[in-house]
Amino acid sequence: MIMEKLGRRIRIGTRASPLAIAQASEVASRLAACNGLPIESFEIVKLTTKGDRLSEQPVPDVGVKGLFTQELEDRLLSADLDLAVHSCKDVATVLPDGLHISAFLPREDVRDALVSRSGAGLWELPSGAVVGTSSVRRAALLAMHRPDLVVIPFRGLVGTRLQKLSDGIVDATLLAKAGLNRLDLAGVATEVLDPRQFPPAPAQGAICIETAKENRIVADLVSALDEAATADAVRCERAFLRALDGSCRTPIAAYATCHGSEVVLRGMTIEADGSNPVRVMVRGARSETQKIGLSAANCIISRRAGRLEKDTSGLLFQTN
């Protein structure tokens, strides 16, 4: 029994937000069910991260490395936590030495949702309407599709942003549909946006579990939760993001899907003002997710540099 080996409850670290706690609770329930353990075997440890403490500042102003994960990762390395649960899109593409992502839960909805006070969809919002978002990707896509809208920085927890919307600070905001679903708030979405027009952030909708590499007891415990299709798709997207040196300052979108033994990655970069969108679609074997992500990123880099290079990887490319 793992409880006998550890001599205590299993400590699950999470941010202290309602969404993060809901995700950690889901992980605890799944671990209990698949390992035949009582839910009391798990302790959810709530930590406040730098990103939470500076919740009113625009993300690019406060820095991005470990913004929502560093405090949790420090506790993993000191063995104060056994595992940490993250929204995978918040996790840096290069992890601290000694840590790894040991499981991905089945992915939720990857799409963005528009929530407006008037009930108008994205294309029906009047010119000059104010839309709040903290995401440079969402802001850039809004600038591309609706340059007549006014986009302002808009941070805070989901509930905080919905309250600001209700108070009339903005006319609309964009939120991850996955987060709304997990908080039982799916009904507040005015419109769920087509990912072909409004592609998601890399790893959006995915929950991942991070553990210390040396903690084999916990790694074995969480391995039963790993969902292969989500893991392959998200690793492909994260490889694409890592190769582009993406951060919260960089408008980058990516979405990979698995079809049998094949994975299809659709990636995009765009300038912050909505100009110069560059898209790529790459198909390849699921056994080569890292290669697919890297090749797609190199294709984007070449196109943005104004040069077309012949690909010799054996992958199938399609670009705009």
198 burial (CB, 10 Å; 0-12 / 13-18 / 19+) is buried
- Residue from 61, 74, 80, 90 carrying the catalytic annotation: 90
* N-to-C CA span, the chain: 55
SS3 content of the chain, % helix, strand, coil (to 5): 35, 25, 40
Count of CA atoms in the C-beta half-sphere (13 A) of 32: 16
Strands 130-132 and 150-152: parallel
Task: Name every residue whose Cβ is closer than 8 Å to that of residue 225 and which is 6 or more positions away in sequence.
Answer: 27, 30, 31, 34, 103, 105, 209
Q: Which residues of 13-40 are buried (b: 16+ CB within 10 A; e: fewer)?
A: bbbebebbebbbbebbebbbeebebeee
- Known catalytic residue: 90? yes
CA gap 198, 314 in Å, rounded: 29
Catalytic residues: 90
